[in-house]
Structure 1
Amino acid sequence: MSKLIHPLFDRYISHPGEILKNFRRWKNPEVSNIPVAFVLGPPRSGTTLLNRLLLNHPATRGFPIQTNIFSPRSIYEVERFKHYAEPALVNRALAESRSLAGFFARLHEISFPDMPEEGWYVEKTPQHARYLSYILKHLPNSKIILAVRDGRDTFCSGRSAQNIPQASSVKAHARYFNSCIDPVRKLLGENDRILVVKYEEFTSDAEAGLTRIMNFLDLPVDLKKQLVPSSAEKDWRVSEKAFQRLAQPITPATVGRWRKEMTGSEIAEYNSIAGKNLLVFDYPLS
Structure 2
Amino acid sequence: IGSRRVGGRAEQRGRRRMNTVPHVRLPAMIKRLKQAVTFVLRPLKLLAPRATRGVFRKKIGVIDTLVRENRSVKREIASLEAERSRLLALLKERQETHEQTIATLRRENDKEKEAFREGVQADFRKEQKGYFTKKLYEEFPSIHWNWSLSRRRAVCPDGKFAFIMGPPNSGTTIFFRILLEHPEIWGLFRESNLFTMGHTDREIISTFKSWQKSAEQEGKSIVLEKTPTNIERWPRIHSLIPNHKILCMMRDGRDCVASGVASHHGSHEDVVNRWIDSVVEYETMQAAFKDDVILVHLRDLQQDPSLVLIRSLDFLGLSYDFHVLQKMLHYHERPRHLGDQRDIPMTLPQTRDTRRDRLQMRCYQVNQPVQKDTSRWKTEFPYDRHPELHERLAPWLAKYGYLDTRRDTREDSAENTVGPNMSAMMERTPEKTLEKTLEIDVNPVESAA
Give the structure-1-normalised TM-score: 0.71
Structure 1 contact 146–195 (Cα < 8 Å) conserved: yes
Query: What residue ranges of structure 1 are gaps of 5+ in the alignment?
Result: 1-19, 21-27, 77-97
How far did residue 272 of structure 1 move? 4.0
Q: Secondary structure at the match of 1:186?
A: helix
The aligned residue for residue 14 of structure 1 is none
5 Å-filtered alignment, 1:196-211, equals 196-211=295-310
5 Å-filtered alignment, 1:72-221, equals 73-75=197-199, 99=202, 101-114=204-217, 116=219, 119-160=221-262, 162=263, 164-166=264-266, 169-188=267-286, 191-221=290-320
Q: Secondary structure at the match of 1:197?
A: strand
How far did residue 249 of structure 1 move? 2.3
Relative contact order (C-alpha < 8 Å, sep 6+): which is higher? 1
For residues 404 and 390 of structure 2, the distance between their equivalents in structure 1, rounded to whole angstroms, comes to 6
How far did residue 148 of structure 1 move? 0.4
The aligned residue for residue 387 of structure 2 is 268
Q: Secondary structure at the match of 1:70?
A: coil
Q: 1:106 is matched by which residue type in structure 2? A: K
How far did residue 233 of structure 1 move? 2.3
For residues 220 and 112 of structure 1, the distance between their equivalents in structure 2, rounded to whole angstroms, comes to 17
CA distance 1:266–1:133, change in 2 (3 Å): farther
The aligned residue for residue 45 of structure 1 is 170
How far did residue 266 of structure 1 move? 4.5
For residues 377 and 276 of structure 2, the distance between their equivalents in structure 1, rounded to whole angstroms, comes to 17
CA distance 1:231–1:37, change in 2 (3 Å): farther
Q: 2:379 is matched by which residue type in structure 1? A: K
Partner deviation per Cα, 1:111-154 (whole Å, 9 max, x = no partner): 4441547x110100011111012212321111000010011101
CA distance 1:242–1:214, change in 2 (3 Å): same
Partner deviation per Cα, 1:217-261 (whole Å, 9 max, x = no partner): 11123212222244552335744223433232223221x221232
For residues 50 and 282 of structure 1, the distance between their equivalents in structure 2, rounded to whole angstroms, comes to 21
For residues 166 and 392 of structure 2, the distance between their equivalents in structure 1, rounded to whole angstroms, comes to 18
Structure 2 contact 178–331 (Cα < 8 Å) conserved: no
For residues 150 and 253 of structure 1, the distance between their equivalents in structure 2, rounded to whole angstroms, comes to 11
How far did residue 211 of structure 1 move? 1.1
Structure 1 contact 60–115 (Cα < 8 Å) conserved: no
CA distance 1:101–1:178, change in 2 (3 Å): farther
Structure 1 contact 59–116 (Cα < 8 Å) conserved: yes
Deviating 4+ runs (over 6 angstroms)? none
For the aligned residue pairs, the C-alpha RMSD in angstroms reads: 2.8
For residues 212 and 368 of structure 2, the distance between their equivalents in structure 1, rounded to whole angstroms, comes to 32
Greater CA radius of gyration, 1 or 2? 2
Q: 2:364 is matched by which residue type in structure 1? A: Q
Q: Secondary structure at the match of 1:48?
A: helix
Give the structure-2-normalised TM-score: 0.47
CA distance 1:114–1:266, change in 2 (3 Å): farther
The aligned residue for residue 61 of structure 1 is 186
For residues 317 and 265 of structure 2, the distance between their equivalents in structure 1, rounded to whole angstroms, comes to 37
Structure 1 contact 232–246 (Cα < 8 Å) conserved: no
Q: 1:227 is matched by which residue type in structure 2? A: L
CA distance 1:138–1:115, change in 2 (3 Å): farther
For residues 217 and 164 of structure 2, the distance between their equivalents in structure 1, rounded to whole angstroms, comes to 21
Q: 1:135 is matched by which residue type in structure 2? A: I
CA distance 1:218–1:113, change in 2 (3 Å): closer
The aligned residue for residue 257 of structure 1 is 376
Q: Structure 2 residue aligned with 1:32, among 150, 153, 157?
A: 157
Structure 2 contact 332–369 (Cα < 8 Å) conserved: no
Query: What residue ranges of structure 2 are gaps of 5+ in the alignment?
Result: 1-128, 130-152, 339-343, 348-359, 406-449
Higher fraction of helix: 2
Q: 2:265 is matched by which residue type in structure 1? A: P
CA distance 1:153–1:74, change in 2 (3 Å): same
Q: 2:281 is matched by which residue type in structure 1? A: P
Q: Structure 2 residue aligned with 1:226, among 328, 333, 348?
A: 328
How far did residue 206 of structure 1 move? 1.0
CA distance 1:104–1:282, change in 2 (3 Å): farther
